[in-house]
Structure 1
Amino acid sequence: MYQLMIIDDEPIVRSGIKDLIPWEDYQFEVCAEGIDGKDGLNKVMEFLPDLVLVDVKMPGMSGIELIQEARKQGFEGKFIILTGYSDFEFAKQAVSLGVRAYLLKPIDEEELMTNVEEVLGELEAKKNREDYFTKSELIARQDVIRRILLPNNGSEELKKDMKLYSLEFKYHCFCCAVISMKNAENMPAPSEECINALTRDMNQIDRIWMDENVVLLCKEYTFLEAAKQLELNIERMEAKHMEIPFVFLGHTVKQWQDIQFSYESARFFWEHRFLYSNQRVITIDMPESVGQITVDRILEQLGNYVDIGDEEGIEHTMYELQQYARISLLKESDIKLLVAHNLILLHSRLLAKYDQKKSEFPSLNQLREQIKNCNSIDSLIHEAIAFCKTMSEIVGGSTSDNIAKRVYAYMEKNFDKDLKLENIAKTFNYNSAYLGKLFKKEMGEGFNNILDSIRIENAKRLLMEQDLKVYQVSEKVGFSNIDYFYNKFKKHVGLSPKEFQKKKPRNEEG
């Protein structure tokens, strides 16, 4: 609605004008009334209405004087003069001041409506022009920011355009974020409501459309600061049951010329979004090292765990493979090929070893289809774990060799606990005496001797790799009695723990 003001020293005239025509039909609402010239001038400059209906002869200040003073003070609204005097000089002055119309009292309703319609048309045209130029400027600014995000070499033309649109970017740091919906190939781009909620309480943010995504250019934010605020806003969105987007944050840069590199790193993570489906804000520091892991070692472990029926080991190994894929930033097709290839190899190896159970083995065609349909690394790993557990259930416990291996694997993982054969037998649903004989037959030594060997090997490792006291090492490997530990260690190693620890290589001082 446009704003209308009526200025006349007669209350009955003001009331009559308000009721003369349906102002709302012409998109006007009365914002104020002036009771004389001076009061009217003050209210004109306070409310800045779009149209003013003003009488000419009023106490203190005439309508012409009011218009002259308002123009001097920069008021650009439109005036229609209402007067009971058809004075030519008044009319001439009104024209010189840009008055829209000069209407004689009593006001003719049709004449007023015609003039109001014309004023409305002029105001609408002005608004459309302003909207057009505002939109055009916004489009131009967006185009300049797109050019900043792309390789630009700091061209002189770009610098000129940045200055033209007040995009000098005198900030301490920048980072970019690519915003995408999950399964972006099949879902619409983030909505305006989604982006507004995501960037709540974040100042100095430019948003730009790049292909199917929205890019946020965060000014005066490091990527860690941006990630913290975005995570907070996503929690708020979750509480409102809003759809949650993916956010891929690039690294922090110090100069606007380097913004392109932050965008490239954010875009790189977006291209590998298959790896991060269970996360919401993905940043450059997420891939963490898990030691010298290799695919060969991971899959060798997997085969062993499937063979002996160690479900915890299967899960741990598959999660290691997941971490390897993330660290290596493997593509979706490469990860699926890697997992499928090795599960098929595992299937073939077990089939050759347990041919009598061939009919129970799961279908490879079904496995291939399940892997193909996985839309994230999490669902892929879930399917792989389920396949391995199924295979393990089919072959696990088939032979005494497998049973012994399962017990040994359990001992290697739990050597620091109070292990007893009786408890392990209950865990594996075996009679303890039978399990003890079977274990000794397959491993060549009894349960207690092998447990001591496992513990002593781990004690040697701790004594060499960590700065621990002997009693601390004893506790960490499962010996509750320090004297017993000393005796067992010397029996297996030929040296006391302290003598062995003295052999630890020392760093040479420079």
Structure 2
Amino acid sequence: MLNLLIADDEELERRAVKNIIGKSFEGQFNIFEAKNGRQAIEVADKEKPEIIIMDIKMPGIDGIEAIKEISKFSGESYFIVLSAYDYFNYAKEAMKCGVKDYILKPLKKDELINKIKEAVYYIEENKNKRKEEIEIKERLKTIQPIVQNELCYAFINNMATADSCKGYLEFLNVSFNSGYCIIMSIKDKYKYAAINEIERVEMKNKIKDYVYDYINLTRKCISTCLYTNDIVFFIEA
């Protein structure tokens, strides 16, 4: 269920909008009201509405000012402005503030319903897009160590050329126009040799990941511990 805010200083206008939405989209919205710009900011801050229907001209803080303030903490809200014809220039200014749509007064039921449908579609599409982006990032995060290992293998074995490594470098977002290498060796080799192979691999990976994260705070780098007894870091200068 989505949260929807209606901000209008005219109570009859708010009721009309609320009734149309309530009957046409039964059970789809939690509907909140605000009678001025200041109250709209307060309600938006508390309820985080996905859709905000905002009258342009209200006493005190007007609709445009309220939109600007709300956008500071709720940048993903979908704004629809209500505007009388006399204030159409205000509506055009509101569009510059990130408002997605506007409705001219007097309000028409079918137009309002269509605008709300468009808003819901836009919000759902954005949610799906964000979900896909997260899934892609997770997949890339899984693939990244494999790509790093292959590129490090090419460097270690002197197999790297500009053409062969171009795709790897672009994927990892590193250039290596200049850089340097650090080789890290386990100091207590006797103790290290006493543990089994699985434990050795786990230890090396933990050390590699810790140092890799630290280096990446200031420098881009790639690392591996697969192809040598040591841990190798190639660091972008």
Which interval holds the TM-score relative to the shorter structure?
Answer: 0.5 to 0.7
8 A Cα contact 1:36 1:59, kept in partner: yes
Which residue of structure 2 lines up, in the alignment, with residue 357 of structure 1?
none
Please tell me whether residue 143 in structure 1 is matched to residue 92 in structure 2: no
Please tell me whether residue 255 in structure 1 is matched to residue 212 in structure 2: no
Tell me the CA shift for residue 126 of structure 1: 2.0
Tell me the CA shift for residue 54 of structure 1: 1.2
Give, as a single letter, the amino acid of the residue that structure 1 aligns with 2:59.
P
Alignment of 1:397-408 (within 5 A): none
* Greater helix proportion: 1
Tell me the CA shift for residue 20 of structure 1: 0.8
Which residue of structure 1 lines up, in the alignment, with residue 118 of structure 2?
118
1:133 and 1:55 mapped to 2: Cα distance? Answer: 34
Which moved further from structure 2: 44-53 or 67-76? 67-76
Alignment of 1:81-100 (within 5 A): 81-84=81-84, 86-100=86-100
Which residue of structure 2 lines up, in the alignment, with residue 309 of structure 1?
none
Give, as a single letter, the amino acid of the residue that structure 1 aligns with 2:19.
D
Give, as a single letter, the amino acid of the residue that structure 1 aligns with 2:122.
E
Question: Residues 154 and 103 of structure 1: is their aligned pair in 2 closer, same or farther, counting only changes over 3 Å?
Answer: same
Question: Residues 71 and 23 of structure 1: is their aligned pair in 2 closer, same or farther, counting only changes over 3 Å?
Answer: farther
| Residue aligned with 2:98, SS | coil
1:245-290 CA-to-partner distances (Å, cap 9, x unmatched) read xxxx9435322245799xxxxxxxxxxxxxxxxxxxxxxxxxxxxx
Question: Residues 123 and 74 of structure 1: is their aligned pair in 2 closer, same or farther, counting only changes over 3 Å?
Answer: closer
2:76 and 2:96 mapped to 1: Cα distance? Answer: 14
1:24 and 1:97 mapped to 2: Cα distance? Answer: 29
Question: Residues 16 and 71 of structure 1: is their aligned pair in 2 closer, same or farther, counting only changes over 3 Å?
Answer: same
Provide the aligned length of Structure 1 versus Structure 2: 176
Give, as a single letter, the amino acid of the residue that structure 2 aligns with 1:255.
K
- Structure with the bigger RCO (C-alpha within 8 Å, sep 6+) is 2
Question: Residues 43 and 2 of structure 1: is their aligned pair in 2 closer, same or farther, counting only changes over 3 Å?
Answer: same
Which residue of structure 2 lines up, in the alignment, with residue 371 of structure 1?
none
1:144 and 1:23 mapped to 2: Cα distance? Answer: 50
Which residue of structure 2 lines up, in the alignment, with residue 70 of structure 1?
70
Tell me the CA shift for residue 130 of structure 1: 1.8
**How well do the aligned residues superpose, as a CA RMSD in angstroms?**
3.7
Which residue of structure 2 lines up, in the alignment, with residue 14 of structure 1?
14
Give, as a single letter, the amino acid of the residue that structure 2 aligns with 1:251.
E
Give, as a single letter, the amino acid of the residue that structure 2 aligns with 1:57.
K
Please tell me whether residue 36 in structure 1 is matched to residue 36 in structure 2: yes
Give, as a single letter, the amino acid of the residue that structure 2 aligns with 1:112.
L
Question: Residues 68 and 23 of structure 1: is their aligned pair in 2 closer, same or farther, counting only changes over 3 Å?
Answer: farther
1:23 and 1:146 mapped to 2: Cα distance? Answer: 54
8 A Cα contact 2:18 2:31, kept in partner: no
1:24 and 1:259 mapped to 2: Cα distance? Answer: 61
Which residue of structure 1 lines up, in the alignment, with residue 58 of structure 2?
58
8 A Cα contact 1:86 1:104, kept in partner: no
1:24 and 1:146 mapped to 2: Cα distance? Answer: 52
Percentage identity across paired residues of the two chains: 25
1:41 and 1:116 mapped to 2: Cα distance? Answer: 21
Give, as a single letter, the amino acid of the residue that structure 2 aligns with 1:127.
K
Tell me the CA shift for residue 98 of structure 1: 3.5
| Residue aligned with 2:199, SS | coil
Tell me the CA shift for residue 141 of structure 1: 1.5
8 A Cα contact 2:55 2:81, kept in partner: yes
Question: Residues 79 and 259 of structure 1: is their aligned pair in 2 closer, same or farther, counting only changes over 3 Å?
Answer: same
Question: Residues 5 and 110 of structure 1: is their aligned pair in 2 closer, same or farther, counting only changes over 3 Å?
Answer: same
| Residue aligned with 2:111, SS | helix
Gaps of 5+ in 1: 165-248, 262-510
8 A Cα contact 1:6 1:30, kept in partner: no
Which residue of structure 2 lines up, in the alignment, with residue 103 of structure 1?
103
8 A Cα contact 1:151 1:260, kept in partner: no
Tell me the CA shift for residue 11 of structure 1: 4.0
Gaps of 5+ in 2: 156-164, 175-196, 206-223, 229-237
TM-score by length of 1: 0.29
Tell me the CA shift for residue 78 of structure 1: 1.8
1:361-417 CA-to-partner distances (Å, cap 9, x unmatched) read xxxxxxxxxxxxxxxxxxxxxxxxxxxxxxxxxxxxxxxxxxxxxxxxxxxxxxxxx
1:135 and 1:81 mapped to 2: Cα distance? Answer: 34
Which residue of structure 1 lines up, in the alignment, with residue 2 of structure 2?
2
| Residue aligned with 2:203, SS | coil
8 A Cα contact 2:51 2:77, kept in partner: yes
